[in-house]
Chains A and B, each alone.
Chain A
Amino acid sequence: SAVISQKPSRDICQRGTSLTIQCQVDSQVTMMFWYRQQPGQSLTLIATANQGSEATYESGFVIDKFPISRPNLTFSTLTVSNMSPEDSSIYLCSDTTANYGYTFGSGTRLTVV
């Protein structure tokens, strides 16, 4: 399966600011997914990042708040914009490599103060 490098691993940000999270995959993948995991909760899908087209967002998530880029088949970014304390979560990217074990990035632990 693929290896995904995600950064930053953690950050503490002021409310109203934005943070961009990066994921680099060591092989080409068709789609990448961005998840949010709030404290004590399971993973909630934010959007699917498609190369060459706009991301597809899930209900409750909008492009203005979570803009996503996918410039090529090995890289994607998620920006958390105009942050508030409610955005404090772990953010994870994953790939769709083969039929076994979707691989996750190591996660970004975001705290908004």
Chain B
Amino acid sequence: GQNIDQPTEMTATEGAIVQINCTYQTSGFNGLFWYQQHAGEAPTFLSYNVLDGLEEKGRFSSFLSRSKGYSYLLLKELQMKDSASYLCAVYSGNTPLVFGKGTRLSVIA
């Protein structure tokens, strides 16, 4: 079966750091995606992790531990525009991505 868990909602303060966790149990695993989705818009690609460790890209970083079935997305120096849903998705090969339910992040002043 496929099971991807992430928190439903999070709130953080402008300028702070927030970590959004994702745990997964899937029948296959080739990598993990993080997407950002603003209300009413399509998801946009943030990161893709294949190997264990931290991938840093500007204010956003993503971490993967394959042995633990665990990933997190780290957002630094939060800005109001970072208020969005963040979707964790597992890639099992040339197949559809399996998405978690998404974490709605609210950035407050």
Contact = CB atoms under 8 A, between A and B. Distances in A.
Looking at chain A's contact residues, is the secondary structure mostly helix, strand, loop, or mixed? loop
Interface stretch (B12-20, B66-74, B75-83, B97-105): B97-105
Please tell me the size bucket of the interface on A: 20 to 34
B45 A101 contact: yes
Contacts of B99: 42-43
B94 A107 contact: no
B43 A96 contact: no
A99 B94 CA distance: 8
B96 A30 contact: no
Contacts of A43: 43, 87, 99
A107 B31 CA distance: 24
A109 B97 CA distance: 21
A96 B42 contact: no
A26 to B, nearest CB: 16
- Place the interface of chain B in its size category: 20 to 34
A96 B94 contact: yes
A101 B100 contact: no
Contacts of A41: 101-102
Contacts of A31: 94
Contact of A101 (B30, B33, B40, B42): B33
23 contacts: A30-B94, A31-B94, A41-B102, A42-B99, A42-B100, A43-B43, A43-B87, A48-B96, A90-B42, A99-B50, A99-B91, A100-B48, A101-B45, A101-B48, A102-B45, A102-B91, A103-B45, A104-B42, A104-B43, A104-B44, A106-B41, A106-B42, A107-B42
Interface of B: 30-31, 33, 40-45, 48, 50, 87, 91, 94, 96-97, 99-102
